[in-house]
Structure formats: C-alpha cells, structure tokens
Structure 1
Amino acid sequence: MKHGQLRSVAHNLADSLASGVSLITGFCDLHVYEDAMRSEGGVLTIDLLNGQVITGTPSPDLAAAVLRIPEEFDRLSRGKCLSRGECRSALAHFHANQVMHGFTLVVEDSSGRVTETDFQGVPARRVSELDHLGRVRRSAIRHR
C-alpha cells in the first residue's frame, strides 16, 4: 500500500467539496468555506472515511453531501487497488477567514503513518512558501 495514493483519494474528495461543485457526491451548490467561516473558530472538520462533520456547523446541502463520501471513498480507493482497511482516518479541516481559505488534510494509514498537508485555492493546491534562498517552493508534507 502506498500512503501517497491514500492521501490522493482523500485530497480528491476534500477538493471536490471545496470546489463548490461536487460531482463526486452529486451536489452542485456547496459553500464549505462559508460554512467554515460561520463555525466556531472558522474551522469545519469532516471525517472523510466515515462521512461525518466532526466540528463546525454545515449547511443542509453540505451535510447531505458528506453522507455520500464514504461510498465514494471506497470507490476511489478500489480504483487505486486500496481497501477501506488500509486507512485508519482521513480528516479534512476546512478553515476560512476574510482573507484566505484552504484545508488541511490529515491521513493515517493502517501501519500508523500520519501525514498532514495544507492546501489552498480552487482547485486545491499545496501551499507555496519561500525557501531560504527566496525561491517559491511547495510546503512540505508534515509527518507525525
């Protein structure tokens, strides 16, 4: 099992929700970042593996879309020759304020390897930052 493929499945689902037009779930009018802004602390956390909103207050459409995610997680995983048992958790922390919005994806596989990756924009891309020489680089994937 490749951890990167598991992270890719979780990213596709979170990015689909973030885009507002989630063809994966069949909902075309989602506003996950607006829901995050209205939530306490400006954060909305979604369990992609189990289809639950853990923190924050989702709109009715987002709550319905989240319920469809576990089935799509399984479908996308099968396409990469992965199974549900290879993933312990997949959380998307959507955060928004007046200036920026993005999400942090935390994925843990069955061997206990955990990665944390920051994304921003639509479509979601890894956050860029300047290195010590002033060059723009994608931010590192954090391992816990």
Structure 2
Amino acid sequence: MIDIYRELPRQMGHAITVDFLTGRANRAKLSPRLRKQIALYKDGFARLCKKHNALPEMYVEASARFYMDRKGYRFSVTVEDRAGRRQTDEYIGMPGRRVRILDQYGRVRRK
C-alpha cells in the first residue's frame, strides 16, 4: 500500500488531492516522507508528458484525489488542457482499475 492511503484517516474529509503540475497536495497535514514523495510526482508527470510528445505547460490541471469508501481504496484522475478539454477517470483498488457500471441497457461500461 502506498503511504497516501495510510494517511487518509488523519485528513479532513478522509481525502487527499495531489496536483501533479506543482508536486503539492491540498491542505492536508502530511508526513514529511509523503510530502517528499508527492513532490517527485511533478517530475514524473513531466517525464510522462515527454514520453507522449507533450509538455506539462499544455495542461491547466493534472490532479488525483485519493480516498476510501465502503468499497475500498479509490482515486480519480482529472486532466484539463489549455483548450478546455477536461477528463476525469475513476479507479478502484490497488492497483487501480477503472470503475465500471451498468448502462441503461444492462451493458458493463467504464464510468
């Protein structure tokens, strides 16, 4: 389990939001170790962008919200580019897998 889930019970709202563009978390009171890990996410996001021939400057938001509910560990990832295109994907479990729901016809679809 990554440290971020261990620290959730101590957080207001039992959630931590990480900004990949700045390498910082929301107003959470984090341990120094987790704060250091989160700071590395900024460089990791830059490497991911480079791998896909993009630049971090192309985005106005790149964040993840980590939380727990009755189904277990969850996180949602939100990305918005400068053109205003925004996408949020939800994941469940460790490692994360996309949340699936039934549509109006009873078919399994990604949420």
Task: Output the amino acid matched with 2:78.
Answer: V
Give the Cα separation in 2 of the matches to 1:131 and 1:33: 30
Match of 1:133 in 2: 105
Q: How does 1:80-99 map to 2 (within 5 A)?
A: 80-97=52-69, 99=71
Note if contact 1:44-1:57 (Cα within 8 Å) is conserved in structure 2.
Answer: no
Q: Give the number of the structure whose residues are more often helix, by fraction.
A: 1
Q: How far does the alpha carbon of each residue in 1:81-136 deviate from its partner, in whole angstroms, 9 at most, with x for none?
A: 00121111111111114542211111110111111111111221110112223332
Q: Distance in 2 between matches of 1:125 and 1:98?
A: 16
Among 24, 35, 38, which residue is 1:66 paired with?
Answer: 38
How many residues are treated as equivalent by the alignment? Answer: 111
Aligned residues with identical type, % of pairs: 31
Please state whether the residue corresponding to 1:117 is helix, strand or coil: strand
In structure 2, list runs of 5 or more residues that go unmatched: none
Q: How far does the alpha carbon of each residue in 1:45-64 deviate from its partner, in whole angstroms, 9 at most, with x for none?
A: 11011100113232322111
Greater strand share, structure number: 2
Letter in structure 2 aligned against 1:47: D
How many Å separate the matches in 2 of 1:62 and 1:72? 15
Structure 1 gap segments, 5+ residues each:
1-19, 21-29, 140-144
Q: TM-score, normalised by structure 2?
A: 0.87
Among 86, 95, 105, the alignment partner of 1:114 is 86
Q: Which amino acid aligns with 1:61?
A: R
Contact 2:73–2:94 under 8 Å retained in 1? no
RMSD: 1.6
